[in-house]
Amino acid sequence: MIIRLRSLVLAFALTAVVAFSALAASAAGAEEVFWSGARRLPVYSVAREDNAVSITFDCAWGTEHTDAILEALKEANVRATFFTVQFWAEEHPDYLKKIDEAGHEIGTHSATHPKMSTLSEDAIRSELSTSSRAITEVTGKEVTLFRPPFGDYDNAVIDTALSLGLMPIQWDVDSLDWKDLSAKEIADRVLAKVRSGSIILCHNNGLHTAEALPVILDTLRARGFTFVPVGELICRENYTIDHTGRQFPAAAG
């Protein structure tokens, strides 16, 4: 009886340790290490074997370098995805129209660029609805993609976006171009990390982004990669997302 009791106590203690360790790991982890099921996740990358990737640009401040970026994309015949904040779209409707007319995809980056996880569900809904509407008023096209500012989200942000028909999108390759890295540093960072199904994060007004783009695009193309907008990279339905945010098409039944 005593031996059995000790065994039960030991088993209980072991279970408690495992549970505590999992909780601690989750609390200490970065955004992308939460297991799906424990937390809703946006799409960070897509499990593809065809070497398709997407290059994306967040638009929140300024336009000084945007023309050069658009020209670099045009010369390389690459269609990208731009995520625009509402106040940027309203201040620069000419650029929003220019981006759209060049064949690029446009998603929302919120209305006011807040930390979305700090907002109520009603406030999240307002941020997404008004910003999408501002884009549609200029382009005439439905907005179906959303990138959370600062990469910040929680379950309410993901669920609310999906309820509005907006697929939440992150990235798995960060150029860090907003830090005013040199063109070589930006290119080296991107080229070292891209894999099939990657989503590359850049910004429309990075100081050296346009200079880095030809190297990035030409090198990746030479390696066998192709470029598509995010909307053509991701699965819209019948998919799963693992703990890293990588999206997988559902296995055929």
Q: Which residue has the tokens 């019948």?
A: 238
What's the CA gap between 27 and 71, in Å, rounded?
Answer: 43
Question: Catalytic: which of 65, 104, 113, 203?
Answer: 203
What's the CA gap between 228 and 117, in Å, rounded?
Answer: 29
Question: Catalytic: which of 58, 65, 113, 208?
Answer: 58
Q: Pick the closest to residue 99 from 118, 132, 73 (CA basis).
A: 73
Tokens of 66: 């945007």
Backbone dihedral angles phi then psi of residue 17, each to the nearest 5 degrees: -65, -45
> Cβ of 149: how many Cβ atoms within 10 Å?
19
What's the CA gap between 175 and 171, in Å, rounded?
Answer: 10
Is 203 a residue of the active site?
Answer: yes
Q: What are the catalytic residues?
A: 58, 203
